[in-house]
């Protein structure tokens, strides 16, 4: 693992009315480096009155010493490590624990050994590249819990999402703050590519029992060219903000930090963790330019798979609604009917790899009827850079690993780097008429494909994503989603592409009551 870097829990005591009975503990995750410094996320400042100063400055540096003098003392909880030179105090402490043992429990285990250090906040700053990302991409998202005053809370969450906090454990006020950040920059590696496996170390809920918990996932999407933000399906919870993100493997390298564990969009829980690429964040702070001749980034082992996914998964937009689609070749795209419900009022646009063109709806199933599918057509001469998707010949098998692709976010101002977010999971249930997976999906995935990767790394479409689970109370479950299996439409689509007889597509709208009732899923269905 990266030298001199470890995940920690950062906390402080807070009381609005200064009465001891109402003292609360506020906590977040963080990373400790060089034995003296701790970097954590700005969300830890949320209950303090000093937050108003941060909001008013709008990214300008905080130089007022009174601001820092009035901040609370910080407690940093970390795993206790044995001293290189054991002393008599540690020996007596160990003997005392051994004498009190009344079971076979190994109280020498690291999970029982913690230490708490104290320090002060010495520097707070806002990252401009993350701030721009909030304005351009996340402007319609809700950050944090959807309780209480949602608008006020989300506005504060968006302000603090791009804020970072540096804690000094030695409390030496004479030291320049840029020096430790420069040290950290030298320890950090460039952001991993989309599809890379990563590992998050964090302390969810500010609970010492979960100190430095490890979760793994993959980079599902990368926002911005620098990049500005990483989306991962590594599972985290409130309090994970500030936790370090590493590459997976025997030699873990520090690449990022968690900036948001809970977010909502269009009334649905996003289900993805947002992480900041730490090298880009520190480079912006230190005003460092990338080297003139940067070393080429090693090709990711799954680059060919991602390229095939990118070349067959398009973004479909109709008015204010959008989703994904699968390119079938010769100008045809398969998507969900509910994505283009208002095609008679708004034009349908298709985006992929920097190209945007208008499409027409050749066929669409009736609203709220199985199967929820639509066929679009556009001029094929503009889409020669795409590759037709391959439909799976064998049906999905319960338990097999799969991928989902969609467009949960995009900016029309920058279409060139537009690529689908890709999440992984497995098939939970499979029938000839419905496929359910555990891939993390949300708005923007409707019409997108569920992919199978074969043993020879071929990419096949198993189904078309149609909906996710949502209860009557509004709770969303992005990891419980339904797709139309390829076996329900593949032959009909293939015959149409050969004969161009649109009348034969009407059989897609299956009117069998068994299938219709299976797809109603009421009240648990949520179109995405």
Q: Which residues contact 345 (CB under 8 A, 6 or more apart)?
A: 319
How does pLDDT run across 67-115, given as a tens digit for each residue?
998 899 999 999 876 555 656 655 665 565 555 555 555 555 555 678 8
Record the tokens describing residue 50, joined without a space: 């000093």
Q: What is the mean pLDDT of the chain?
A: 85
Q: Specify the DSSP class assigned to residue 315.
A: E
Q: What is the mean pLDDT of residues 186-210?
A: 92
Does residue 249 register a pLDDT over 80? no
pLDDT band for position 293 (50/70/90)?
very low
pLDDT at 90: 53
Lookup: tokens for 344: 């008679």
Distances (CA, A) of 236 to 24, 147, 200, 217: 22, 19, 8, 10
In the predicted structure, residue 457 carries a pLDDT above the cut 80: yes
Residue 522 clears pLDDT 60, i.e. is over it? no
**Per-residue confidence band for 448, with pLDDT thresholds at 50, 70 and 90:** very high
- Phi, psi for 391 (deg, rounded to 5): -85, 135
The model's confidence at residue 117, banded by pLDDT at 50, 70 and 90, is: very high
Nearest Cα neighbor of 225 from 352, 162, 133 is 133
Backbone angles phi, psi at 115, to 5 degrees: -135, 150
Can you give the pLDDT at residue 477?
Answer: 79
Residue 26 and residue 46: Cα distance in Å, rounded? Answer: 9
CA distance 165 to 125: 7
- Confidence band of 316 (pLDDT split at 50, 70, 90): very high
Q: Are residues 97 and 185 in the same domain?
A: yes
Taking the mean position of all CA atoms in its chain, how far away is CA 482? Answer: 20
Sequence-separated (6 or more) residues with CB below 8 Å from residue 229: 130, 133, 137, 222, 223, 259, 274, 275, 276, 277
| 354 shares its domain with 404 | yes
Q: DSSP assignment, residue 249?
A: S
How does pLDDT run across 128-173, given as a tens digit for each residue?
A: 999 988 888 888 888 876 565 667 777 888 889 999 999 999 866 5
Name the least confident of 279-293, 380-394, 494-508.
Answer: 279-293
Q: Is residue 291 part of a domain?
A: no
Give the strand pairing for 37-41 and 449-453.
unpaired
CA distances from 52 to 159, 242, 477 (A): 10, 21, 34
Residue 454 CA to residue 402 CA, distance in Å, equals 10
220, 252, 286: which is the final residue of a domain? 286
Higher pLDDT among residues 174 and 356, named by residue? 356
- When pLDDT is averaged across residues 355-378 and rounded to a whole number, the result is 91
Domain boundary among 251, 286, 321: 286
Residue 222 structure tokens:
């990368």
Q: What is the dihedral of CA 21, 22, 23, 25, to 10 degrees?
A: 120
Q: Does the residue 300 lie in any domain?
A: no
100 compared with 212, residue with greater pLDDT: 212
Side-chain-facing half-sphere of 332: CA atoms under 13 Å: 18
**Domain assignment present for 294:** no
pLDDT on residue 391? 95
Pick the more confident residue, 109 or 470: 470
Per-residue confidence (pLDDT) for residue 343, from 0 to 100: 94
274 and 318 both lie in a single domain: no
Write down the pTM of the prediction. Answer: 0.82
- For residues 502 and 404, membership in a common domain is answered with yes
pLDDT at 449: 97
Asked if residue 398 has pLDDT above 90, the reply is yes
DSSP 392: P
Q: Tell me if 297 is assigned to some domain.
A: no
Percent of the chain's residues with pLDDT above 70 = 85
- Please say if the pLDDT value at position 176 is more than 90: no
Domain range for 472 is 306-527
DSSP H/E element including 133: helix 128-136
279 and 320: one domain? no
pLDDT in tens, 12-71: 998 766 555 567 889 999 999 998 999 999 999 999 988 888 888 877 777 788 899 889
- Residues 213-220 have a mean pLDDT of 93
User: In this structure, are 360 and 482 located in the same domain?
Assistant: yes
Q: Do 74 and 111 form a contact (C-beta atoms < 8 A)?
A: no
* Joined tokens for residue 211: 């100190």
Scanning 212-297, the segments in alpha helix (DSSP H) are 278-286
pLDDT of residue 367: 84
Into how many domains does the chain fold? 2
Q: Which of 26, 53, 56, 52 is nearest to 41 (CA)?
A: 26
In the block, tokens 């989603």 appear at 481
pLDDT over 90 (residue 428):
yes
Q: Which of 248-257, 319-328, 363-372, 510-519 has the lowest mean pLDDT?
A: 510-519
Per the model's pLDDT, the better-predicted residue between 88 and 325 turns out to be 325
CATH at 313: 2.40.10.120
3 state DSSP class of 520: helix
**C-alpha dist (Å) from residue 504 to 372, 486, 499:** 16, 17, 10
DSSP notation for 345-368: TS-EEEEETTEEEEEEEEEEPPTT
């Amino acid at each position: 693992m990266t030298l001199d870097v470890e995940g920690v829990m950062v906390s402080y005591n807070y009381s609005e009315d200064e009465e001891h009975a109402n003292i609360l503990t506020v906590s977040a995750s963080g990373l400790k480096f060089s034995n003296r410094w701790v970097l954590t996320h700005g969300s830890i400042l949320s209950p303090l009155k000093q937050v108003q100063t941060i909001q008013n400055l709008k990214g300008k540096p905080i130089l007022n010493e009174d601001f820092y003098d009035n901040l609370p003392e910080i407690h940093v909880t970390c795993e206790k490590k044995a001293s290189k030179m054991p002393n008599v105090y540690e020996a007596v402490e160990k003997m005392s624990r051994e004498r009190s043992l009344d079971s076979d429990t190994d109280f020498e285990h690291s999970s029982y050994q913690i230490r708490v250090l104290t320090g002060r906040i010495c520097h707070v700053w806002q990252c401009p590249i993350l701030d721009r990302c909030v304005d351009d991409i996340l402007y319609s998202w809700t950050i944090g819990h959807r309780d209480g005053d949602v608008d006020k809370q989300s506005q504060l969450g968006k302000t603090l999402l791009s804020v970072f906090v540096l804690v000094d454990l030695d409390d030496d006020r004479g030291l320049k703050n840029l020096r430790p950040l420069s040290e950290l920059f030298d320890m950090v590696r460039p952001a991993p590519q989309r599809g890379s496996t990563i590992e998050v170390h964090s302390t969810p809920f500010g609970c010492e029992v979960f100190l430095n918990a490890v979760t793994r996932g993959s980079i599902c999407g990368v926002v911005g060219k620098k990049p500005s933000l990483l989306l991962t399906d590594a599972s985290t919870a409130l309090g994970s903000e500030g936790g370090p993100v590493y590459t997976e493997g025997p030699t873990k390298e520090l690449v990022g930090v968690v900036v948001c564990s809970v977010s909502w969009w269009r009334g649905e829980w996003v289900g993805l963790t947002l992480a900041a690429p730490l090298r880009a964040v520190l480079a912006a702070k230190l005003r460092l330019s990338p080297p003139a001749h940067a070393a080429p980034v090693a090709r990711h082992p799954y680059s060919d798979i991602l390229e095939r996914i990118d070349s067959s998964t398009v973004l479909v937009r109709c008015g204010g609604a959008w989703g994904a689609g699968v390119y079938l070749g010769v100008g045809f795209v398969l998507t969900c009917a509910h994505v283009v419900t208002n095609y008679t009022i708004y034009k349908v646009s298709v985006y992929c790899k920097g190209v945007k063109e208008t499409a027409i709806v050749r066929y669409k199933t009736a609203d709220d009827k199985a199967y929820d599918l639509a066929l679009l057509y556009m001029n094929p001469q503009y889409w020669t850079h795409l590759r037709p998707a391959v439909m799976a010949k064998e049906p999905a098998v319960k338990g097999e690993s799969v991928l989902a692709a969609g467009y949960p976010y995009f900016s029309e101002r920058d279409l060139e780097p537009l690529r689908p977010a890709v999440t992984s999971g497995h098939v939970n249930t499979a029938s000839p008429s419905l496929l359910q997976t555990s891939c993390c999906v949300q708005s923007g995935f409707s019409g997108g494909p569920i992919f199978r990767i074969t043993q020879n790394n071929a990419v096949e479409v198993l189904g078309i994503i149609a909906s996710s689970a949502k209860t009557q109370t509004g709770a969303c479950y992005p990891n419980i989603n339904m797709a139309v299996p390829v076996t329900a439409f593949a032959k009909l689509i293939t015959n149409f592409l050969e004969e161009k007889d649109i009348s034969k597509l009407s059989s897609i709208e299956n009117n069998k009551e068994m299938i219709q009732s299976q797809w109603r899923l009421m009240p648990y269905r949520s179109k995405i």
